[in-house]
Amino acid sequence: MSKVLSPTPLFERVEKARRRKRRFRDTQITLAHGSGGRAMHELIEGLFLEYLRNPLLEKLEDQAVFEIGLTHGGTTGLGNFAQPKARVAFTTDSYVVDPIFFPGGDIGKLAINGTVNDLAMSGARPLYLSAGFILEEGFSIEDLKRILSSMRDAAAEAGVAVVTGDTKVVQKGSVDKIFINTSGVGVIESPVHLSASCAQVGDKVILSGTLGDHGTTIMIARGELELETDIESDTAPLNALVQDMLDEAGSAGAFGSLHCLRDPTRGGAATTLNEIALSSEVCIEIDEILVPVREEAKGACEILGLDPLYVANEGKLIAIVSADVAERLVARMRQNVYGSEACIIGMVKEQPAGIVAMQTGFGGTRIVDMLVGEQLPRIC
């Protein structure tokens, strides 16, 4: 990882292209707009943000972080009182995975864990969730019971409660079986400020485990690959793992050493790292040899011509942290079942800004760009 990446003409051209303001020119929505890659970012930044712009939305994080509470107090029979502000995280997501049942989970477990994880990536302790269901006429009640049971168990493991919701039933053919929307709120109790814009030169890049397990599982479950394998989706709640990281940083008096946490879902680790590099205006360099991928996932990706860096994950996180605490955090993460394979895969450099590069196993360097187009539709 000691090789210096110089801003060659190719890197300079890519850097300039990446810095251009996104303008939405498409006339119709395609599946690529939901892939998590470049097309989806153009849709969000060039269209949704244009119409709904506000200071919180402009940050384009996976959750909004804001303060609530009374600043001037109120009047009661006991006199004036003041209530301190609390830092709160709020997020929402919709789940349309196909198939709805797959090895290691189902759409219900995915919905709970996905929302819990988006809250946890801000350093929040997830508290309450909502669940909205869009059901197709004729959907099996037994399948619905199975999904609700899975949601109950996932919520119990994560220590959250589903406290409100909504149900709609549409005519057969108007929706594919079941879609679920979940929103969640959590409270940030430690003095951390995590954001994709906070990566700093010299930081280390930590990955909590193997890449591509969820996306590969979905491909196999669809029958797209005639493979017999024990691989399962990695869907899992990561809030306890994040709390371990916060505790470790706190014990060292180094909350400020945690700069960014992200879960690499749609678009995979490559897209997530690109988002961080662009937002922080830094170069992120990873080492191909250090990136863990299960042999089953690697084999499936090779058959389909896919790169595991772009395949979805639902139980992994990427952390950008100060170099002086990186090894200590990895050691603590490995004590948690969902971080047992945590490792350092790269570092943050100054130039070329906005670029993710990878040192290949052959000793060369290549650009790892954001996912372009549609790779795996409806993986979450």
Kindly report, residue by residue over 21-69, the tens digit of the pLDDT. 557 888 999 888 887 888 888 999 999 999 999 999 999 999 999 999 8
Domain count, the chain: 2
215 and 327 part of one domain: yes
Count other Cβ atoms within 10 Å, centred on residue 13.
11
Kindly report, residue by residue over 338-349, the tens digit of the pLDDT. 999 999 999 999
208 and 347 part of one domain: yes
156 and 239 part of one domain: no
CA angle 283, 286, 291 (to 5 degrees): 155
Return the CATH number at 183: 3.30.1330.10
On whether the pTM is more than 0.85, the answer is yes
154 and 209 part of one domain: no
Q: What is the DSSP letter of 191?
A: S
313 and 340 part of one domain: yes
Q: Can you give the pLDDT at residue 80? A: 56
254 and 313 part of one domain: yes
Q: Can you give the pLDDT at residue 213? A: 96
274 and 217 part of one domain: yes
Please say whether the dihedral angle defined by the alpha carbons of residues 103, 108, 109 and 113, taken in this order, is positive or negative. positive
The residue range of the domain holding 318 is 204-367
Kindly report, residue by residue over 274-319, the tens digit of the pLDDT. 999 999 999 999 999 999 999 999 988 888 788 999 999 999 999 9
Q: Which of 138, 156, 188 is the last residue of a domain?
A: 188
CB 69 within 8 A of CB 84: yes
**Residue 160 is assigned to a structural domain of this protein:** yes
What are the angstrom distances between the C-alpha of 67 and each of 71, 84, 124, 230? 10, 10, 13, 45
Count other Cβ atoms within 10 Å, centred on residue 12.
13
**Residue 118 is assigned to a structural domain of this protein:** yes
Overall average pLDDT of the 66-91 stretch: 71
Paired with 135 in beta bridges are: 169, 178
143 and 281 part of one domain: no
**Residue 59 is assigned to a structural domain of this protein:** no
Q: Is the peptide bond before 352 cis (omega within 30 degrees of 0)?
A: yes
344 and 209 part of one domain: yes
**Residue 60 is assigned to a structural domain of this protein:** no
223 and 274 part of one domain: yes
184 and 208 part of one domain: no
Q: Which of 153, 188, 223 is the last residue of a domain?
A: 188
Mean pLDDT over the full length of the chain:
90
DSSP per-residue letters across 199-224: --TT-EEEE-S-SSHHHHHHHHHTTS
> Is 1's pLDDT higher than 50?
no
**Residue 51 is assigned to a structural domain of this protein:** no
**Residue 24 is assigned to a structural domain of this protein:** no
**Dihedral pair phi/psi, residue 151, rounded to 5°:** -65, -40
Tell me the percentage of the chain whose pLDDT exceeds 70.
89
Count other Cβ atoms within 10 Å, centred on residue 43.
19
**Residue 150 is assigned to a structural domain of this protein:** yes
Return the CATH number at 209: 3.90.650.10
Residue whose token pair is 């052959």: 362
**Residue 307 is assigned to a structural domain of this protein:** yes
CB 370 within 8 A of CB 14: no
